[in-house]
Amino acid sequence: MSSNATHADPNVTAAQTLLANDHLSFRRKVTYGFTDMSGNLLYCIISSYMLYFFTNVFGLGVGVAGTLLLIGRIFDAIGVPIMGILVDHTHSKYGKSRPWFLWMALPFAIFVWLLFTTPALSTNAKIVYAGVMYVLADLSYIAVSTPITSVLPNLTSVSDDRMSANSIRLVLGNVGNFFAVTFIIPFATFLGKGNEQRGWSMAVGVYAIVAFILLIVAFLDMRERNIENSEIVTVKQSLKATKGNWPWVLIVVANLVYWTAYTIRNSALPYYFQYNLHDKNLISFFNGFSIIQVLGMAAVPLFVKVLHKWGTTVFMLALTMLGQVWMGLAGANVTSALIGWCIACIGAGSACTMFFAMVGDTVDFGEWKNGIRANGFLTAFGASFCIQMGSGFGGFIAAKILAGFGFDATKVVQSQATAGGINLTFIWIPIIVYAISLICMVIYRKWEKHEPVVQEELAERNAEAKLSH
């Protein structure tokens, strides 16, 4: 059907009726947000403290730890498309994405807990244990995070509802991030009573129980629409959905680069405050202030109305880079550094919101262009793949830079050269990487302008299909 169809056309009328009755309630937007709160409650411990835990608690060398982080992401690179295909092949009374929250809630909680549990093994056996648990924890997170993004286009077809639901999801996800990065170290210290390894295991165990409960609640309240008409999407069809889908390509590249920069910064953060500013307490203090990014996340829908999606993302990435520069110039001035940190957090958190929202739009584009709606496959690459591979690249890059500048966790005081390497990793390298993501989003502008045509014609096709039955 052409987008120039008259209003008298019954397909157009039916399409308008479908869109009008497809709104998502505020309660279900909130329970949808529980999925990301659960995922972040555990995964942000991994993305923020994995390198630090491996070197300063578990007892691995920084080079070995960095290699494990990269190897784990190689497995993720295989697991992400498989998970996307599994979602597209899922056919149950609960839908395609929703049942995965039920199936994977317990494995996800258990594997992350085991990852932060230090066994009494030989050095080589501990390396094997760390590698295996890291892979299993990551794969279980992929099995949770992939449906978080892929389910959104099936919860509602209303663009504004998707945007607000995604904003609520990421605000609640940031609450999970706040509790993960702010309290895990003091909580582990409190529970361990001088035994860091025991403390981390117990603290992450408590977090894992809460994460499990949140996922189950989300599963129970969630509903996918039109599941009775859902079709199995083959691997060949999934690949075809990417053909000519340039908006999807740009989102994948931009989001992958974003998570690489984000993880480089977060991986270096504990070292920066412990060794450069000589105050380990600042790790939790600064991470606690990351909650301020909910201000930007909550305001994203307002920014989008003025700057559009591409412009909002560019603005937020530029804000992130400004905050990084501010921290670099602040040096040992903690108050000034905190201002820069807050600016960077608002920018980074809001940019992250945009990527997750826009990848859902690329699913619509793929269906419009190729006639295939591959929610699982496209969103798996646009979200989970970017998070996992970006985190792996970021952690590996951070570890290699630190190793190259002579970092040694057994030394209470690092050399001047090492402190310079930590500063480079925490402040300046992320700025360069964020700039690449920003350029991708400037290019994305032309594709966003085409979205109204895509939405209208898809609504007409769906209405025509309903009328034909």
- pLDDT tens-digit map of 124-178: 999 999 999 999 999 999 899 889 888 887 888 776 787 788 788 878 988 998 8
H or E element in which residue 165 lies:
helix 159-192
Both tokens assigned to 462: 């769906």
What pLDDT score was predicted for residue 22? 63
Distances (CA, A) of 334 to 82, 186, 326: 45, 20, 11
d(CA 135, CA 117): 15
What distance in Å separates the CA atoms of residue 464 and residue 469, rounded to the nearest whole number?
9
pLDDT for 226 beyond 80:
no
Q: How far apart are CA 204 and CA 36, in angstroms?
A: 17
Cα pseudo-dihedral 334, 335, 338, 339, rounded to 10: -150
For 392, the token pair is 């792996």
Q: Quote the DSSP letter at residue 221.
A: H
Please, are residues 314 and 438 in contact by the beta-carbon 8 Å criterion?
yes
Per-residue pLDDT at 11: 52
Integer-rounded Cα Rg, in Å, for the chain is 22
Tell me how far the alpha carbon of residue 291 is from its chain's centroid: 16
What pLDDT, in 10s, does the model give residues 309-336? 999 999 999 999 999 999 999 999 999 9
Q: 293-330 and 429-443 helices cross at what angle (nearest 10)? A: 130
Sign of the alpha-carbon torsion through 228, 234, 240, 246: positive
Q: Is the pTM of this model over 0.85?
A: no
Alpha carbon distance 111, 467 (integer Å) = 48
Say which amino acid occupies 416.
Answer: Q
Place of tokens 């990487």: 433
